[in-house]
Amino acid sequence: MITFPKAKINLGLRVTGKRVDGYHDIETVFYPVGLSDALEFVILTGSETEDVLITSGINIGVRQEDNLVIKAVKKLRETYPLPFLKIHLHKAIPSGAGLGGGSSDAAYLIRGINKCLNLSVSETKLKSIALELGSDCPFFINPVPSVATGRGEILKQAGAFLEGYHIVLVNPGISISTRDAYLNTPVSEPGTKLLEMVSHPVVEWKKLVINDFESYAFKLYPQISELKKALYRIGAVYSSMSGSGSTVYGIFPGKPEIPAVIRKYKIFEGVL
């Protein structure tokens, strides 16, 4: 079976509280984009005693046993009898980039196994299993535009309000630790709910919709801030860092001309 795990961007991200379990409460809008990995799995029919993972594309520098794809299979096998699998993961989504690539891979594999092996696991249960792998994993079980609260697992569909806009993702090749980002980002003051903010026209978002992680990331890596400014200079109606970084995206009314100062980085363009 072959699937294509999608990336996501965050439209705004507020850290709203520190939890007793060590996690943080957040408020964000997860929005799927066209950039995707490719994930294929087949059932091993020999005498194999473990899953096999083959990777290609971007080297994310993770040992096989630490890859979320392998962790996802093992987590699902704790409850459901699964054969051993041979998995091929081709990475196109950068790692540590705020795009949810690893979480998407894990969630799409869980979905795929459920469908291929006729496990009949409900979407609610799949999301519960996914949450044990990562806070944004549940979103990718059904990746439609969603307001996310709690750790990111409480999801409310938000509508495809960016449909038809053109997006440019720019990844500067910097990996930012999510843990460090949370440790260095203070809790937001209570304010207007994010869903209300994004209900305004996109051209007004620049003054309304913010990502709390930008202050830390921009101080640590000023080039990320410069990329955001560069996207505004070429006509973005809204630009932001996604998640805890380091990818920056720009939303445009049409396909922009991208200058060399941006093209020297890894970019992805597409229609939302």
d(CA 104, CA 109) in angstroms, rounded, equals: 8
Are residues 226 and 133 part of one domain?
no
For residues 40 and 82, membership in a common domain is answered with: yes
Catalytic-labelled residue, pool 6, 8, 91, 127: 8
Nearest CA among 243, 120, 125 for reference residue 181: 243
Mean pLDDT of 133-140: 96
Beta bridge partners of 13: 28, 211
Q: Is 8 a catalytic residue?
A: yes
177: domain CATH number is 3.30.70.890
Q: What is the rounded CA–CA span in Å between residue 130 and residue 127?
A: 5
Comparing C-alpha atoms, which of 173, 178, 186 is closest to residue 267?
173
96 and 180 share one domain: no
pLDDT at position 63, please?
Answer: 85
Could you tell me which residues come within 8 angstroms of residue 69 by beta carbon, excluding any fewer than 6 positions away? 39, 53, 87, 89, 105, 106, 109
125 and 226 both lie in a single domain: no
Which is the catalytic residue, given 37, 51, 105, 136? Answer: 136
Q: Amino acid letter at 106?
A: A
Question: Which string of DSSP letters, residue by residue, matches 193-248?
Answer: -HHHHHTS-GGGGGGT--BTTHHHHHHH-HHHHHHHHHHHHTT-SEEEE-TTSS-E
Give me the chain's average pLDDT, please.
94
CA 77 to chain centre: 24
CA dist 260 and 239 (Å) reads 18
Hey, what amino acid is at 245?
Answer: G
What is the per-residue burial (b if ≥16 Cβ within 10 Å, else e) of 181-215? Answer: bbeebeeeeeeeebeebbeeebeebeeebbbbbbe
Q: Are 184 and 134 members of one domain?
A: no
Does one domain contain both 198 and 261? yes
The total of structural domains in the chain comes to 2
Q: Which residue in this structure is represented by tokens 């799949």?
A: 126
Q: Are residues 135 and 235 in the same domain?
A: no
The CATH number that applies at residue 23 is 3.30.230.10
Spatial neighbors of 37 by CB under 8 A, at least 6 apart, are 4, 5, 57, 89, 90, 91, 92, 93, 101, 104, 105
The percent of residues above 70 in pLDDT, for the chain, comes to 99
Do 171 and 141 share a structural domain? no
Summarised one tens digit per residue, pLDDT across range 39-80 is 999 999 888 889 999 999 998 888 888 899 999 999 999 999
State the pLDDT at residue 114.
97
Residues 62 and 127 in one domain: yes
The reply to whether 136 belongs to the active site is yes
Question: Are 107 and 197 part of one and the same domain?
Answer: no
- Residue-range definition of the domain harbouring residue 75: 2-157
pLDDT at 46: 80
The mean per-residue pLDDT over the stretch 219-226 comes to 96
Cβ contact 136:28 at 8 Å:
no
- Range of weakest confidence among 137-141, 153-157, 189-193, 229-233: 189-193
Final residue of a structural domain among 93, 125, 157:
157
Q: In terms of domains, do 73 and 201 share one?
A: no
Which pLDDT does position 40 carry in this prediction? 98
pLDDT of the residue at 51: 94
Shared-domain flag, residues 192 and 91: no
Torsion 213-215-219-225 (CA) sign: positive
Q: What are phi and psi of 102, to 5 degrees?
A: -65, -40
